[in-house]
Amino acid sequence: MEIKNEPSYVDARKRSREKIKIISDAYIMDNEISKIGVGKKYHIITYGCQANVRDSETYAAILEDMSYTKTDNMDDADLILLNTCSIRENAHNKVFGMLGRIKHLKETTKPDLITVVGGCMCQEEAVVKEFEKKYKWIDVVFGTHNIQNLAKLISESIDKNELIIEVFSKEGDVIENLPVRRENKYKAFINIMYGCDKFCTYCIVPYTRGKQRSRRMGDILSEVKECIKEGYKEVTLLGQNVNAYGKDLDSNLSFAVLLEEVAKTNIPRIRFMTSHPWDFTDEMIDVISKYDNIMPYIHLPVQSGNDRILKLMGRRYTKEEYLKLFDKIKSKIKNAAITTDIIVGYPSETEEEFNDTLDVVNYCKYDGAFTFIFSPRENTPASRMEDDVTLEEKRDRLARLNEVVNKYYKENNEKLIDKVVPVLIEGPSEKDKNLYSGYTDTMKLVNVKCDKEDIGNIINVRIIDAKTWSLDGEKVDE
């Protein structure tokens, strides 16, 4: 085992005033290394958020630069890469479960299998210590700050036939020359910033992804234009908190400015993820309502509807301020669909405080909500908070919350029956081979009766039926 660098909780928390470095030559593909994968197959398993999905597209491109080819069948692979997530305990459990399966593969049919583990879990000190102790059969452990070294690390591990660990806990740079192999032909994820400085007390992301650092607007626009040239119909601008875009670069730059420039490229659809209610500006709302190619869909995590809990979470807004913003968005952006994230069972949350969250849901009647039981994450302030709420109580609150959330999901879907909505058709439906599926401007999944030729196009669809999680529709001629 060779430990080049290990993650450190202390270093992961640091934030200096130093300017972020933008590096355009960090990724180099050595001639020797580019042949390692000839005749071999790779398989990537991705957990977690869109940032991870987008990172996996870079891992895929790096492995293909090494001459590996993709396989969808993990049993067939010569190299398996796990892109891990730290956000909640169950994400951890899934990864350790999968490592068990991979170990079995290695011990039975695939003794030469190369196992590479990357992503947020590798940025956690305790996880890497566990790998060192109990998972020495893994070949490479790398983090979120050294993606550019992936090929070199794999090559070294093959040469030395031992586990190589290289994980940096640092604020991070912006690396501009990493390759990408996109999964979807019509929808592209584009990073506009990395990291997060919000430090909500429950969240591990500021530790695993480093300091907030924005990409230059010119680099983002070039990537958007590249996508347009390749025939992409939709881009999703990604960041842990997109509203804060640009503030680390130039005081005149803002997400509203970027969004407007992206809109002017005329790409048919623009989405963005995720917004924090705290710095969602009027300028942003104005730009979203001004351009038809910015989709009227906003993910606006509320987390809790109670002021004491919001304060404990370090969210920087009150229930009243959130609802004011919600109303403003709904009144200014035509047909806006708003979705949210909610955590129940925060340390010391009372039944009355939970009811405030239900009140918010009943007021906002969200188009969708991701709901979670609080999961203590190693080394975060919330993990050290006193908690007298039993797991049974937390589960009960989650069930009650989901019941209300699902009621509005369905009601909002039912309101669309007989309406004609635009849908970007992506391919055959998973439910029914005779149908095609895609998403509305408001991000609702529709199974559509249309033609194969419609794949990759935005077509008008009349909604004929509504279920809780999806809609049924048929193509209408203009």
Residue ranges that bind ligand SF4, judged by CB under 6 A: 48-49, 51-52, 85-87, 119-120, 204-205, 208-209
Judged by CB under 6 A, the stretch of 129-137, 218-226, 309-317, 371-379 that binds ligand 5AD is 371-379
The helix/strand/coil state of 7 is: coil
Does 203 interact with ligand 5AD (rule: CB under 6 A)?
yes
Does 343 interact with ligand 5AD (rule: CB under 6 A)?
yes
Contacts (Cβ under 8 Å, ≥6 apart) of 111: none
Per-residue burial over 15-43, b = 16 or more CB atoms within 10 Å of its CB, e = otherwise: eeeeebeeeeebbeeeeebeebbeebbbb
Does 242 interact with ligand 5AD (rule: CB under 6 A)?
no
Check: CB of residue 189 under 8 Å from CB of residue 37: no
Judged by CB under 6 A, the stretch of 9-17, 255-263, 367-375, 413-421 that binds ligand 5AD is 367-375
Sole residue written with tokens 């960041």: 239
Does 276 interact with ligand 5AD (rule: CB under 6 A)?
no
Q: Contacts with ligand 5AD in 405-444 (CB under 6 A)?
A: none
Q: Tell me the C-alpha to C-alpha distance, in Å, between residue 223 and each of 21, 132, 191, 207, 226.
A: 19, 38, 10, 27, 5
Count of residues touching ligand 5AD (by CB under 6 A):
12
In the list 202, 297, 322, 326, the residue contacting ligand 5AD (rule: CB under 6 A) is: 202
| x/- track of binding to ligand 5AD for residues 289-318 (CB under 6 A) | ------------x-x---------------
Contacts (Cβ under 8 Å, ≥6 apart) of 465: 417, 471, 472
Does 88 interact with ligand 5AD (rule: CB under 6 A)?
yes
Q: How many CB atoms lie within 10 A of CB 412?
A: 17
Does 207 interact with ligand 5AD (rule: CB under 6 A)?
no
CA 188/CA 180 separation, integer angstroms: 11
CA 328/CA 390 separation, integer angstroms: 37
Does 255 interact with ligand 5AD (rule: CB under 6 A)?
no
CA 14/CA 7 separation, integer angstroms: 13
Q: Which residue is nearest to ligand SF4 (CB)?
A: 48
Which stretch of DSSP H or E encloses residue 210?
none
Q: Which does 341 bind (CB under 5 to 8 A by kind): ligand 5AD, ligand SF4, none?
A: ligand 5AD
- List, as one string, the DSSP characters of 95-126: HHHHHHHHHHHHHTT-TT-EEEEEEGGGG-HH
Judged by CB under 6 A, the stretch of 173-181, 373-381, 430-438, 468-476 that binds ligand 5AD is 373-381
Contacts (Cβ under 8 Å, ≥6 apart) of 296: 288, 333, 334, 335, 336, 337, 441, 442
**Least distance from C-beta 274 to ligand SF4, angstroms?**
10
Q: Which does 245 bind (CB under 5 to 8 A by kind): ligand 5AD, ligand SF4, none?
A: none
Q: Which does 372 bind (CB under 5 to 8 A by kind): ligand SF4, ligand 5AD, none?
A: ligand 5AD
Contact footprint for ligand 5AD (CB under 6 A)? 87-88, 202-203, 301, 303, 341, 343, 372, 374-375, 377
